[in-house]
């Protein structure tokens, strides 16, 4: 701007002589010469001289100044002829093209959009000052990214019809790397302790991969904020960064950063108070105060306390509450008194709950998930919980919520949920491959939101070397207005157990049933189901022949119970799920306790109880510890002597103890074939981390794991648990889910079947 002002002043002085030669006169007309692209109207709008006014030397200067300020002209002259004000202008050329060469780090499209904002664009008037500004700003961007040897040259080519083309030639050079980061003035903590959380580092073994030694002004600012938090979270309330020097080596390839700090003293908290208009009783707020007398001062805990109190007030209708932490510092005693001053604002009420974007889904399907009621005080918890319930329906790609104020009021808002519907109907055909099941073919047709009612209707077919399954299903998630669900299912399954690495037999089963789900609260639900099941067993020869040949558990069971069974099963389940998402969760967990028992009088009388718990514990921003525990127990009752062999639990392989062949752990028959067991114990621990260069990916994840587990027949021997360790990769590809693992068994025994590399494609992860 200083350059532009200087140019205008120079122009005014340059043409003031011409203005001085003009005798004062009454303007009868104004004529502008030299216009090509600029309209006369634009010029007249910029002029302060009007017809009928007296024209003087001062006004002559104003005319020249006003026209130069338009930025369209490189020369302006003023003269008079028979009381007509003559203005001769020379327009600046127009930009006909802008080309950029050598810019690898920053895309041309991004640069051209940025240039447009400052007036350098095709069709605009060319201004050399703007071009100089663009060059300097572009260099600044490269300098901020550590490329201090970068150069930018501009070539302007004059074309016919007062046009120019602009070429920017960029030489980015290589980024200067950080050679050393020094901290000066630190006494309580070493450089290593301070710098361990920095994003910027000096040269390391992996800096070529992480680029952590590539200087960035933005990253340095973020690291200085981390440094401030590091000290203030440890009691150094007066900590400050006195200065930061960034120096570059003469060859412009090395950067040295020096951070000068003043630690101050550690302050302890000697008093904590709540002040202001509390609204709620103090005993309801105190549990959310994380700062206590005697504690070392922590800015993080103080901030979290303010947020906690604001959240609690928001749950009670004060969504605009403001809680400020006010410290009273006593440097002599190195103590601090903390007061949390509460300003709740007005209690806010909801005028209307508005639904938008649901063009197919009926309004009632959304509204029955809403926990924030109209005409009641707003609860931020209810608003967000309603959003989560809408997201879990599975009918929408995205759910957004806004709380705009009602015009003309200070205590009312509307709650507006905007949904983006996705296709609720699917017709799928696919194929996959699993080491345990071989080629898997599947086809399904489903409608998760049948006619916009939220009901689910489905039919599917699945075929593999192990299983062939046909199924039909129907579920109404709101069979009652209280959220009780009801569903029906019918299926037919054939299983060749020999293909699943277990004993040789096949089963044919037909099942039909009804199930109900009862919500207990917002996260817990219990289920009840009744199924009628018909099962037939084929050993490949008669039970008597089998008994004579092998005298095994399976043949004995068929001899005692026959080879076909009709059972009425009653099942129950309790489950809770607070994961942040169903697939590739990063926090939260789920628990499920289920059981099934055959009704007395069924051909086979038995029961099974299973428990599964998953937990996701965030370790860092992009890493998670995943823990899984799986327990199962089954037995017979009444006149039955044992759990049916085809209801046994199996372990080993994918989803169990990797590194061992699928379903091969546990008891075996006299042919050394696995037959499963009535008790299952499996545990998994995985450290999940992102794919290099794709930390934000939600479709790919890697992990290092330790698995443990086995199945038992009656007696449990923890010493017989099998262990394995390895690495895993999972990918939700456009063609289906892929899972890979490479594991080694840690305590395998002679009869164990090992399989280091395991994978599957087309099956769930």
The pLDDT confidence band at residue 673, using thresholds 50, 70 and 90, is: confident
In the chain, pLDDT over 90 holds for what percent of residues?
A: 36
Task: Give the separation between CA 610 and CA 680, rounded to whole angstroms.
Answer: 9
Q: In whole angstroms, how far apart are CA 100 and each of 64, 106, 119, 143, 167? A: 35, 10, 16, 18, 6
Give residue 439's pLDDT: 47
User: Could you tell me the two tokens for 523?
Assistant: 């996260």
Residues 374 and 455 in one domain: no
Domain-terminating residue out of 288, 314, 343 = 343
Q: Which long-range contacts (C-beta less than 8 Å, at least 24 apart) are formed by 328-331?
A: 329/237, 329/238, 329/267, 331/238, 331/265
User: Could you tell me the two tokens for 64?
Assistant: 């020249």
Residue 388 lies in a domain: yes
Give residue 21's pLDDT: 53
Give residue 189's pLDDT: 93
Condensed to tens digits (0 to 9), the pLDDT of residues 331-343 reads 999 999 999 999 9
Give residue 301's pLDDT: 93
CB 588 within 8 A of CB 618: no
Residues 553 and 597 in one domain: yes
CATH code for position 723 = 2.40.160.50
Residue 479 lies in a domain: no
Top mean pLDDT of 322-331, 445-454, 488-497 is at: 322-331
Q: Which of 77-86, 397-406, 546-555 has the lowest mean pLDDT?
A: 546-555
Task: Give the separation between CA 103 and CA 150, rounded to whole angstroms.
Answer: 10
Residues 547 and 672 in one domain: yes
Q: Is the dihedral of CA 181, 185, 190, 196 positive or negative?
A: negative
- Average pLDDT of the residues in 667-694: 86
The pLDDT confidence band at residue 4, using thresholds 50, 70 and 90, is: very low
User: Could you tell me the two tokens for 739?
Assistant: 């899972």
**Res. 227: pLDDT tops 60:** yes
Residue 492 lies in a domain: no
Beta strands 757-761 and 736-745: pairing type?
antiparallel
Task: Give the separation between CA 75 and CA 11, rounded to whole angstroms.
Answer: 8
Condensed to tens digits (0 to 9), the pLDDT of residues 543-598 reads 555 554 444 677 778 888 888 999 999 999 999 988 877 678 888 899 999 999 99
The owner of tokens 């491959």 is 433
**Res. 18: pLDDT tops 50:** no
**HEC sequence for 433-457:** EECCCEEEEEEEEEECCHHHCCCEE
Residues 725 and 633 in one domain: yes
Condensed to tens digits (0 to 9), the pLDDT of residues 118-134 reads 778 888 888 888 888 88
Residue 690 lies in a domain: yes
Residue 371: strand pairing partners: none
Residue 153 lies in a domain: yes
Give residue 592's pLDDT: 95
Domain-terminating residue out of 91, 106, 138 = 91
Q: Which of 580, 587, 677 is nearest to 627 (CA)?
A: 587
Q: Which of 709, 649, 653 is nearest to 434 (CA)?
A: 653
The owner of tokens 């920095």 is 198
User: Could you tell me the two tokens for 582?
Assistant: 């169903």
Task: Give the separation between CA 577 and CA 356, rounded to whole angstroms.
Answer: 28
Residues 672 and 756 in one domain: yes
CATH code for position 374 = 3.10.20.310
Residues 160 and 82 in one domain: no
Residue 6 lies in a domain: yes
**Res. 671: pLDDT tops 80:** no
**Res. 725: pLDDT tops 50:** yes
In the chain, pLDDT over 70 holds for what percent of residues?
A: 88
Average pLDDT over all residues of the chain? 84
Residues 136 and 273 in one domain: no
Number of domains comprising the chain? 6
Q: Which of 2-16, 347-361, 737-751 has the lowest mean pLDDT?
A: 2-16
**Residues whose CB falls within 8 Å of the CB of residue 518, separated by 6 or more in sequence, listed in order:** 484, 525, 526, 527, 528
**Residues whose CB falls within 8 Å of the CB of residue 253, separated by 6 or more in sequence, listed in order:** 149, 174, 176, 177
**270 or 546: which carries more pLDDT confidence?**
270
The pLDDT confidence band at residue 6, using thresholds 50, 70 and 90, is: very low
Give residue 761's pLDDT: 63
Opening angle at CA 430, ends 425 and 431, nearest 5: 160
Domain-terminating residue out of 244, 262, 280 = 262
Q: Which domain holds residue 686?
A: 435-462+543-761
**Residues whose CB falls within 8 Å of the CB of residue 10, separated by 6 or more in sequence, listed in order:** none
**HEC sequence for 90-137:** EECCEEEEEEEECCCCCCHHHHHHHHHHCCCCCCCECCHHHHHHHHHH
Q: Which of 305, 304, 345 is nearest to 322 (CA)?
A: 345
Q: Which of 215, 84, 50 is nearest to 149 (CA)?
A: 215
Residues 589 and 676 in one domain: yes
Q: What are phi and psi of 109, to 5 degrees?
A: -60, -40
Residue 530 lies in a domain: no
Condensed to tens digits (0 to 9), the pLDDT of residues 26-49 reads 888 989 898 887 888 888 888 888
The owner of tokens 């860092």 is 620
- Average pLDDT of the residues in 407-422: 88
Residues 257 and 194 in one domain: yes
Residues 658 and 706 in one domain: yes
Give residue 429's pLDDT: 42
Residues 737 and 651 in one domain: yes
Residue 657 lies in a domain: yes
**Res. 431: pLDDT tops 50:** no
The owner of tokens 């789920």 is 590
User: Could you tell me the two tokens for 296?
Assistant: 């070392």
Query: Roughly what angle, to the nearest 10 degrees, separates helices 217-232 and 128-144?
Result: 50
User: Could you tell me the two tokens for 53?
Assistant: 């006014």
Residues 218 and 253 in one domain: yes
């Amino acid at each position: 701007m200083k350059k532009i002002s200087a140019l205008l002043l120079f122009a005014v002085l340059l043409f003031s002589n011409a203005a001085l030669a003009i005798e004062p006169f009454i303007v009868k007309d104004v004529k502008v010469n030299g216009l090509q692209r600029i309209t006369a109207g634009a010029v007249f709008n910029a002029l302060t001289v009007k017809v009928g006014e007296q024209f003087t030397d001062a006004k002559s200067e104003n005319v020249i100044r006003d026209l130069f300020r338009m930025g369209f002209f490189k020369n302006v002259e003023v003269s008079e002829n028979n009381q007509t004000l003559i203005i001769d202008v020379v327009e600046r050329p127009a930009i006909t093209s802008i080309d950029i060469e050598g810019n690898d780090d920053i895309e041309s499209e991004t640069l051209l959009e940025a240039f447009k904002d400052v007036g350098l664009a095709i069709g605009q008037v060319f201004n050399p000052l703007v071009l100089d500004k663009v060059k300097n700003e572009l260099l600044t961007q490269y300098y901020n990214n550590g490329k201090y040897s970068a150069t930018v040259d501009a070539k302007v080519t004059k074309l016919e019809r007062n046009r120019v083309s602009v070429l920017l030639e960029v030489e980015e050079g290589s980024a200067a790397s950080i050679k050393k980061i020094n901290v000066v003035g630190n006494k309580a903590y070493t450089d290593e302790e301070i710098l361990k959380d920095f994003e910027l580092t000096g040269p390391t073994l992996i800096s070529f991969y992480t680029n952590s030694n590539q200087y960035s002004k933005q990253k340095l600012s973020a690291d200085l904020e981390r440094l401030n938090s590091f000290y203030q979270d440890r009691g150094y309330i007066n900590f400050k960064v006195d200065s930061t020097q960034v120096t570059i080596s003469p060859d412009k390839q090395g950067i040295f950063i020096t951070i000068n700090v003043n630690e101050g003293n550690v302050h302890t908290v000697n008093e904590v108070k709540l002040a202001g208009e509390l609204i709620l009783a103090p005993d309801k707020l105190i549990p959310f105060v994380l700062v206590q007398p005697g504690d070392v001062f922590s800015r993080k805990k103080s901030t979290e306390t303010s947020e906690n109190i604001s959240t609690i007030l928001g749950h009670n209708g004060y969504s605009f509450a403001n809680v400020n932490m006010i410290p009273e510092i006593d440097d002599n005693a190195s103590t601090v008194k903390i007061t949390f001053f509460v300003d709740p604002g007005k209690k806010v009420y909801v005028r209307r709950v508005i639904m938008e974007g649901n063009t197919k889904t009926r309004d009632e399907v959304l509204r029955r998930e809403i926990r924030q009621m109209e005409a009641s005080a707003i609860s931020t918890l209810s608003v967000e919980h309603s959003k989560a319930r809408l997201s879990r329906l599975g009918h929408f790609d995205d759910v957004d919520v806004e709380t705009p104020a009602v015009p003309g009021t200070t205590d009312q808002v509307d709650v507006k949920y905007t949904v983006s519907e996705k296709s609720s109907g699917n017709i799928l055909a696919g194929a996959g491959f699993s080491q345990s099941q071989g080629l898997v073919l599947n086809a399904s047709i489903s409608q998760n939101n049948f006619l916009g009612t939220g009901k689910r209707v489905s039919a599917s077919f699945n075929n593999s070397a192990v299983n062939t399954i046909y199924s039909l299903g129907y579920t109404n998630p709101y069979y009652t207005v209280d959220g009780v669900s009801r569903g029906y299912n019918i299926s037919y399954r054939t299983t060749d157990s020999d293909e699943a690495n277990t004993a040789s037999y096949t089963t044919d089963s037909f099942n039909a049933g009804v199930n109900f789900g009862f919500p207990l609260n917002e996260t817990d639900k219990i289920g009840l189901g009744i199924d009628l099941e018909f099962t037939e067993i084929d050993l490949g020869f008669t039970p008597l022949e089998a008994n004579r040949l092998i005298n095994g558990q399976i043949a004995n069971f068929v001899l005692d119970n026959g080879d076909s069974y009709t059972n009425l099963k009653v099942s129950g389940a309790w489950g809770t799920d607070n994961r942040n998402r169903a697939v590739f969760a990063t926090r939260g967990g789920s628990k499920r306790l289920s059981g099934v028992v055959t009704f007395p009088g069924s051909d086979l009388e038995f029961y099974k109880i299973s428990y599964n718990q998953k937990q996701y514990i965030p370790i860092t921003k992009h890493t998670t510890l995943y823990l899984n525990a799986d327990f199962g127990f089954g037995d017979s009752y009444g006149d039955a002597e044992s759990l049916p062999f085809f209801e046994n639990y199996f372990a080993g392989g994918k989803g169990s103890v990797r590194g061992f062949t699928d379903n091969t752990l546990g008891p075996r028959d006299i042919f050394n074939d696995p037959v499963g067991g009535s008790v299952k114990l499996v545990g998994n621990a995985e450290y999940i981390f992102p794919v290099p260069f794709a930390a934000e990916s939600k479709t790919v994840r890697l992990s290092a794991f330790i698995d443990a587990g086995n199945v038992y027949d009656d007696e449990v021997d923890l010493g017989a648990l099998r262990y394995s360790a390895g690495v895993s990769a999972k990918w939700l590809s456009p063609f289906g889910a892929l899972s890979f693992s490479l594991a080694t068994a840690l305590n395998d025994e002679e009869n164990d079947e090992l399989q280091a590399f395991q994978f599957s494609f087309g099956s769930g992860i």
